Structure 1
Amino acid sequence: MKLFFSVFLFVSQIIFVNCHTSISDAIYIRTNQVGFLPEELKTAVILSKTNLQNKPFYILENNSNKIKFEGSVKDSPSVYGNFNFCYEIDFSSLSSIGKYRIKLSDTESYPFQIGNSIFNNVRDSLSLFFKTQRCGPTNPILHQPCHLSDASKIIGYTDSTARDLTGGWHDAGDYVKFLKTTAYTTYLLLFSYEFDSKKFGYDLDKNNVPDILEEAKVGLDWLLRCNVDNKTLVSQLQNESDHNIGWRLPENDSLQFNRPAFVSLGKNTIGIYSAALALASRIWNEKSYDNEFASNCLKTAEKFYALRNSVQDIDTTFSYHYPEKYFNGKLALASIELYNSTKSEKYLKDAVMFGEKAESDYWWSVGDINSLAHYKIAQHNQDFVKYIYLNLKHSKNKSSESFLREGLEYSWGTTNTFLGVSLQTILYKKLTGSKEFDSLNIFQIDYILGRNPWGICFIYNIGSDFSKNLHSQVAFFNNGYLPGALTAGPAPANLLKEYKIQRMNQSYNEFNSDEVKYFDDRMDYITNEPTIVGNATALFVFGYFSN
């Protein structure tokens, strides 16, 4: 989204200490700034413009400076951007709990920890982000209740009068709400709790209800309001005009009485919508929270699933955000959740049919989530494990091509895609017990937390150096503060060329390459905007590693 504001830049100078120090001598050590579980893989990457082969490196205890591990740079160098000598170092055998730094020549890394509970703070922070995105009278943080007149009118429906569509979450740094991203987010919050109710049953506000279910209820209430007449759904609320009136807090939105809703329906939206509601019905029934609410969720899910053969294949949002190509995976997810909630064999039969048609998608995004369906179906039919395996085999092969170990290609939403790889490794391990893709998993989360060319953690306020200039209006009016916000991350240079973004912060430009770039800039809605989708994926992954 395009917003305008002023920003002051502070330009720092590099002071050369002596005649032997030059920019060409610079060494950059990049590693996970949060740290590692004691028995997990532990690596870092080194970027240099000079040959470092056979140079020694040391792992120092942070407080005492005692050497706890030593090794040497052994790998043949890789080339990245401005750096012709890039290496990967491994110190996995260091397992003692503590706080450490890596030292090579006169360069040291940011400190990191080895411990069993190091990801708890990441999980809690990611969870808090959703409260900043809340819309309507839903007890948000960092802003007041907002958009209390949603929606001013409905476009594409015979009765165009106003309708109560308050609540839910703002999708990203703007104030638009989408059905597909809300349904994805809601489903993944519920999925996380069902996957491991102990790890995801945390109750930070101590009201005896798991925080993740409280947050999912925000999404569920809005999804139910999007049901216009049991025949069509509100797929989007607000349009591009939201992007054209400047930065403001949501309660000060001058468009609050001009926020139209748009209706449409497709097999893809039916799939993720019905899946979220069917799963919610089961959890609310089993926990005895609200049986009437559970019944409403299930009835609504079944009604819309029954419409699947009478609607278009792919429903796109009014503003063409989050384009999709496929629907079978989402219908498979809906049918398996309906089977799990009703035990009706017709749904299991449909799940197998749609799941086979979906096959492996070799990707992860809001529209490419086949592995969620295959995971659920595989609990009844082990043949479906192969589809997740093929996805991960593809990612592992991709990862082996680079010292950075990226599991998939860069895109708009790279961090969500990489964490989607991690998510799938967790599902596969749960189904099979295999550790084949453990390293692939660790490489993706390490990348997010600082093992990347920029040496930055892409989650706000996590690690020593993190994305600070988020493309978020709420953050801007709170001095940049937006707890747990996961930025979209680096993107292909060719993609960035298609958009005219007037950036003012070039502080990480030295680490950009001709192929991939990242900018910690508030104007950059491609690389530096957080979304509810990305945070939902991240919450599952880091919640899984929490203790």
Structure 2
Amino acid sequence: MTRILVPIMMILFTIGCNGDAIHSETADGVKAENAQIFIRVNQVGFRANDYKIATVISDADISGSAFKVIESKTGKESVSGKIVKGPSGWGNFPFGYSVDFTSLKKEGRYYIDVAGKKSPEFLISSRNYITITDSLLKFFKIQRCGPTNPILHDVCHLYDANKLVGELRAGGIDVTGGWHDAGDYTKFLNTTAFTTYLLLFSYEFNRTRYENDSDKNGVPDILDEAKIGLDWLLRCNYAPGKLVIQVQDLKDQTVGWRMPENDTLRYERPAFAGIGKNLVGLYSATMSLASRIWKDRIKNNEFSERCLNAATNIYAVRNSVPNVDKNPIGMYQDSRFWGKLALGAIEMYNTTKKQEYLREAQTYADSAGSDYWWSWGDMNALAHYKIAKHVPRFSDYILNNLIAFNDNRNKNLFQEGTVFSWGTSHTFLGIALHAILYRDLTGKNNFDSLAFSQRDYILGNNPWGVSFIYGYGEKYTKYFHSQVAYFNGGYFPGGVAAGPAPKAILDGYNIERKNFSYNKFNSADVLYYDDRNDYITNEPTIVTNATAIFVFGNLYK
């Protein structure tokens, strides 16, 4: 449940791996005695026109070997060809290859065969991804805090917060509600605003895709969930120009695993005041966008005005606050602010049509530049996308990112678009998000294959052959670092694991693991553990799910 305290995106790693014993023939007929071969593929599958790549790792040179894509039902060969040697191996598997079966268009269930070794089965279907966004959204009901009708646990933390740290006035403050950030029970304004914004943005970007209203209350499910975030964010604006930036501190991680309703610290959950240009931007962006949606779609002018008033009073202090807030325990600590401030300015313009906001947005966005990353702290692409709707040149900043991601992908066996980090799954999903934004702005699909390759990595085309999304794929993450999941027998719909992390980061933390089932596929530099104690590789977060909801809802727009 510990969060990263140091920058991670500058660490670079090389790729390497391990496999099952078989006897096979190489292309020149030399017998590869006891060769271990593993085939990795997106286990959920593809649509007919998708870019379709699988990866083969082996401890023996099997260059030139044939691959066959077999229809599971009939046993008939559908596509065949030669495996292509990749740029490297992985870990203990010095030989890596790719299998390109993009030409296969026929719907059905298939597997890939290389030298007698079979891949997991996968589907080619137009309906592969219909349910995944609903599952990802369900995760947020598990994370709900306070009197918000959560699932898999009871109502909890009804006394947030017993005191407000950083404010001279005495007494507590009502900051009940919102979402628990991850596997622990802490709440952060930075990640809650990020998450809420992305839920709103997903709806605005493709309203038809997100109109599902499962409880028939007249409000799309995604906006019902965003309202959980909005209500909490409004409570956090406890006075004009003032924000609560966090509820609870590191004590949360000292009392052992428990269900949230049984939290022994329920009366000891302080709130912390703080502010910075980074939070001014992200908060005002979220509330401005909410104001438009609640006015246009929900027809609730009163709530719309509340949101816009909150956005306006926070944005007004942008020039009188520090560049970044100071997080009290070092978690989710921003180091930059221009991108978030640019997003706030452009959303204020989109809501009010005041030209000064558009001018400020351009100035801030040029200062932000391309960030070549995606995370809760690196989201410049959203500001550049929104501004590019008015000033097209801003799409070039997104293009810069995509060119760099694509160059990295072409150097890596598993087509990772950037280096590994704490939160690899989130970053790779963010790369796909970039490609979707650029396609929408320009009508060009030249980065679609980049987006598909990052999706495929998350769903099984990775060294461990595991889908990092609970319940999707033949083999998926099961032992999440989530207290609620643990006390529900591992059941965790919509959970997304953080994914593999650099050894250089993992070595900085003392984690007592029990599950080493994927050890043979760990390299010297990059490791993944499906272990409930591993808060670096196996913890879910609200920000990852928010990005995933956008990506899986819009890959095929």
User: TM-score, normalised on structure 2?
Assistant: 0.94
Q: 1:76 to 1:405 in 2, by over 3 A?
A: closer
In structure 2, the CA distance between the partners of 1:362 and 1:101, relative to structure 1 (3 Å rule), is same
**Alignment correspondent of 1:438:** 448
- Structure 1 residues 52 and 340: CA distance shift in structure 2, 3 A: same
Amino acid of the structure 2 residue aligned with 1:237: V
Query: How many residue pairs get matched?
Result: 537
**How far does residue 546 in structure 1 lie from its aligned partner after superposition?**
6.4
Equivalence for 1:56: 66
Match of 1:378 in 2: 388
Mapped contact 1:24–1:49 kept (Cα < 8 A): no
Paired residue for 1:359, among 348, 369, 387?
369
Distance 1:19 1:137 in 2: 60
2:254 maps to 244
| SS at structure 1 position matched to 2:533 | coil
Assess if the C-alpha contact under 8 Å between 1:133 and 1:140 holds in 2: yes
Alignment-derived partner of residue 392 in structure 1: 402
Cα deviation per residue 1:321-375 (whole Å; 9 max; x = unaligned)? 1222110111110010010001111111111111111111111110110000000
Range moving further from structure 2, 70-79 or 263-272: 70-79
Other-structure match for 2:293? 283
Q: Given the alignment, which residue of 306, 327, 332 partners 2:337?
A: 327
User: Contact 1:53 / 1:76 at 8 angstroms: preserved in 2?
Assistant: no
* Matched AA of 1:181: T
Amino acid aligned to 1:481: Y
CA contact (8 A) 2:23 2:33 kept: no
Q: CA separation in 2, counterparts of 1:15 and 1:87? A: 16
Task: Kindly state the Cα deviation for residue 514 of structure 1 after the two structures are TM-superposed.
Answer: 1.0
**Separation in structure 1 between the aligned mates of residue 408 and residue 398 of structure 2, nearest angstrom:** 15
Amino acid of the residue matched to residue 399 of structure 2?
Y
Q: Which of 346, 353, 363 matches 1:343? A: 353
AA in 2 matched with 1:171: D
Q: Would you say the 8 A contact 1:35–1:112 is kept in 2?
A: yes
Report if the CA contact (8 A) 1:144-1:251 is conserved: yes
Alpha-carbon distance in 1 for matches of 2:365, 2:132: 33
Conserved 8 A contact 1:157-1:263? yes
Deviation at 1:54, TM superposition (A): 1.6
Relative to 1, partners in 2 of residues 1:374 and 1:394: Cα closer, same or farther, differing over 3 Å?
same
Residue 535 of structure 1 corresponds to 545
Aligned partner of 2:9 in structure 1 is none
Q: CA 1:23 to 1:163, structure 2 compared with 1: closer, same or farther past 3 Å? A: farther
- Describe the superposition over 1:349-402 as per-residue Cα deviations: whole angstroms up to 9, x where unpaired: 111111111111111110110000000000000110110000111111111111
Q: Is the 8 A contact 1:77 1:85 kept in 2?
A: no
1:401-440 pair list within 5 angstroms: 401-440=411-450
Residue 221 (str. 1) matches residue 231 (str. 2): yes
Match of 1:504 in 2: 514
Distance 1:301 1:67, change over 3 A: same
Contact conserved, 1:119 with 1:545, CA < 8 A, in 2? no
Q: How far 1:208 sits from its partner (Å)? A: 2.8
Aligned partner letter, 1:280: A
- Work out whether 1:188 is the aligned partner of 2:198: yes
Return the letter of the residue paired with 1:383: R
8 Å CA contact retained: 2:283, 2:311 = yes
Change in CA separation of 1:327 and 1:67 when aligned onto 2, cut-off 3 Å: same
Q: How far does residue 534 in structure 1 lie from its aligned partner after superposition?
A: 0.5
In the alignment, which residue of structure 2 is the partner of 1:10? none
1:475 aligns with one of 467, 481, 485: 485
Counterpart contact for 1:189–1:213, Cα < 8 Å: yes
Contact map agreement 2:481 2:532 (CA 8 A) in 1? yes
Contact kept, 8 Å, 1:16 with 1:22, in 2: the verdict is no
Measure, in 2, the Cα distance between the counterparts of 1:307 and 1:487. Answer: 37
Matching residue's letter, 1:349: R
CA positional deviation for 1:19: 13
Residue identity over aligned pairs, in percent, reads: 51
User: Does 1:116 pair with 2:150?
Assistant: no
Query: What CA deviation, in whole Å up to 9, does each residue of 1:81-128 have, x standing for no partner?
Result: 000111011000001111111111221111111111211122111111
Deviations 1:40-86 (A, max 9, x none): 10010001011111211111111221111111213356221000111
Alpha-carbon deviations, 1:460-492, whole Å to 9, x = none? 111110111100000000001111111110001
SS at match of 1:78: coil
Partners in 2 of 1:503 and 1:22 — Cα distance? 35
Q: Which amino acid aligns with 1:105?
A: A
- CA, structure 1 residues 77+348, in 2 after alignment: closer, same or farther (shift >3 Å)? closer
CA deviation string 1:181-234 (max 9, x = no partner):
000000000000000001122223333321100000000000000012112110
For residues 516-544 of structure 1, what are the alpha-carbon distances to aligned partners after superposition, in whole Å with 9 as ceiling and x for unaligned? Answer: 11000111000000000011001100111
Name the structure 2 match of 1:5.
none
Is residue 2:102 matched to residue 1:92?
A: yes
2: CA distance, partners of 1:179 / 1:243: 19
Q: Deviations over 1:242-272 (max 9, x none)?
A: 0010110000001001100000000001111
- Give 1:7's aligned residue: none
Q: 1:298 to 1:492 in 2, by over 3 A?
A: same
Query: What RMSD, in angstroms, separates the aligned Cα atoms of the two structures?
Result: 1.9
5+ long unaligned stretches in structure 1: 3-13
Contact 2:282–2:344 (CA under 8 A) maintained in structure 1: yes
For residues 260-316 of structure 1, the C-alpha deviation after alignment (integer angstroms, 9 at most, x for no partner) is: 000000000111111000000000011143110100100110111010110000113
Q: Is the 8 A contact 1:117 1:546 kept in 2?
A: no
Against the structure 1 CA distance between its residues 264 and 24, is the aligned structure 2 distance closer, same or farther, given a 3 Å change threshold? farther
Q: Is the 8 A contact 2:23 2:35 kept in 1?
A: no
Q: Distance in 2 between matches of 1:206 and 1:396?
A: 42
In the alignment, what sits opposite 1:457?
467
Q: 1:18–1:491: structure 2 CA closer, same or farther, 3 Å change rule?
A: closer
Q: Residue in 2 aligned with 1:171?
A: 181
- Which of 507, 513, 525 matches 2:535? 525
Q: Do the aligned residues in 1 keep the contact of 2:32 with 2:60 (CA within 8 Å)?
A: no
Query: Residue 54 of structure 2 corresponds to which residue in structure 1?
Result: 44
| CA deviation vs aligned residue, 1:424-467 (integer Å, no higher than 9, x gap) | 10000000011221111111000000000000000111111011
**Are 2:22 and 2:36, in contact at CA under 8 Å, matched by a contact in 1?**
no
For normalisation by structure 1, the TM-score amounts to 0.95
Structure 1: which amino acid aligns with 2:407? N
Counterpart in the other structure of 2:316: 306
Letter in 2 for 1:489: G
The alpha carbon displacement at 1:164 in A equals 1.1
Match runs of 1:99-110 below 5 Å: 99-110=109-120
2:154 matched residue in structure 1: 144
Aligned partners of 1:415 and 1:488 also within 8 Å? yes
